[in-house]
């Protein structure tokens, strides 16, 4: 879901999830899950705790969960803010991209556009595995979207 520039993104995204009846899971920073009631609520909503400072195999675990869901004939929808933060960053984190490539699943290009007051998920891409090609396709569809705080939208490129 791009761009992620405000706490309002979560509220708007949650309302869209409920309106569409989607069983979405989402990655969220682990500190949100440490508060007892908030953590329980986040899990209920579909939240998966992520320690952004660690590389303890989240990509591999998520790929395996997706494969298991597919084997059971179930869908595994994962919504992520690829920037990994609401702050201006030098690019996108690539964990979700790696999950999609390794699991062989398409990426739904969802956006929040506060200028047009639009929430959309209307395009799905099958990834090539070539980072430059795939990120160019992301940018073609998402670069002109305007977040609540437009100055905080990170460029659509892999983080160095």
Q: What is the pTM of this model?
A: 0.81
Render pLDDT for 94-136 as a digit per residue (tens, 0 to 9). Answer: 988 999 999 999 999 999 999 999 999 889 999 999 999 999 9
Contact 2, 146 (CB under 8 A): no
Percent of the chain with pLDDT over 90: 54
Render pLDDT for 1-16 as a digit per residue (tens, 0 to 9). Answer: 999 999 899 899 889 8
Identify the CA nearest to 156 among candidates 146, 143, 145.
143
Contact 24, 77 (CB under 8 A): yes
Give me the mean pLDDT over the 76-94 stretch. Answer: 89
């Amino acid at each position: 879901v791009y761009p992620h520039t405000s706490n309002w993104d979560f509220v708007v995204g949650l309302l869209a999830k409920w309106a569409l009846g989607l069983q979405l899971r989402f990655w969220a920073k682990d500190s949100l899950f440490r508060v007892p009631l908030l953590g329980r609520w986040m899990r209920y909503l579909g939240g998966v705790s992520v320690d952004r400072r660690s590389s303890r195999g989240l990509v591999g675990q998520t790929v395996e969960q997706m494969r298991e869901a597919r084997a059971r004939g179930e869908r595994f929808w994962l919504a992520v803010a690829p920037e990994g933060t609401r702050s201006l960053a030098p690019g996108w984190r690539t964990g979700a991209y790696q999950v999609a490539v390794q699991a062989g699943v398409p990426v739904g290009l969802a956006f929040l556009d506060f200028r047009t007051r639009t929430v959309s998920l209307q395009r799905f891409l099958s990834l090539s595995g070539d980072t430059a090609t795939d990120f160019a396709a992301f940018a073609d569809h998402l670069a002109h979207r305007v977040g609540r705080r437009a100055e905080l939208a990170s460029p659509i490129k892999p983080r160095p």
